[in-house]
Structure 1
Amino acid sequence: MAERTTSDETMSRADLAAYLRHLATEFEDETAAEQLNVDVGNKTVSLHPPESVDVSIDVVERSTMFRGNHETIQLELHWKPESPE
């Protein structure tokens, strides 16, 4: 069974930076090594990443005559949760 929580919103650059900093802090926090909390919209999702995480970064730059310039960065993190002891 797969459960997906999605949120699409517009943030200021400062708010985005704060969100990414919070996420980075969650990954670095050794006292909470068993659980990582991610805010997704109005919900907090608890995840359990191992010490090593697979990372995929995709950057697309597009330029079209009709739509103008468009840039996208997509960051994906993948892992299998560690087994509880």
Structure 2
Amino acid sequence: MVQRTTSAETLDRDAVAARLEGIAASLRSDDEFTVRVENKDITLRPTDSITFEVDVVEKQAVFRGDRETIKLELDWRPE
């Protein structure tokens, strides 16, 4: 069974950095941690080995303007 919970919101750079720092701190210190997505708390149990993927897209469009996107994906198999 697959359960996907997705959220998108616009934040300032400091708020985005704070969220990423919170996840990084949890990965360093806890066996499990909770991520809040919309109104749902999701507990994750990362293993010592995590696949880390970075995907960067640079779009140049004459009429819509340039756009840059970065997606980070962390993947593991809970024990």
**Structure 1 residue ranges without an equivalent (≥5):** none
Following superposition, the deviation at residue 38 of structure 1 comes to 1.3
Which blocks of at least 5 consecutive residues in structure 2 are unaligned? Answer: none
Shift in Å, 1:5: 1.0
Q: Distance in 1 between matches of 2:2 and 2:58?
A: 32
TM-score (norm 2): 0.92
Matches within 5 A, 1:5-84: 5-29=5-29, 32-33=30-31, 35-82=32-79
Q: What's the C-alpha RMSD, in Å, of the aligned pairs?
A: 1.0
Shift of 1:79: 0.7
- Distance, in Å, in 1 between the alignment partners of 2:6 and 2:57 is 22
Alignment-mate amino acid for residue 36 of structure 2: D
> In the alignment, residue 10 of structure 1 is paired with which amino acid?
T
Structure 1's consecutive aligned runs of 4 or more residues displaced over 3 angstroms after TM superposition are none
Letter in 2 for 1:22: G
Question: Number of paired residues?
Answer: 79
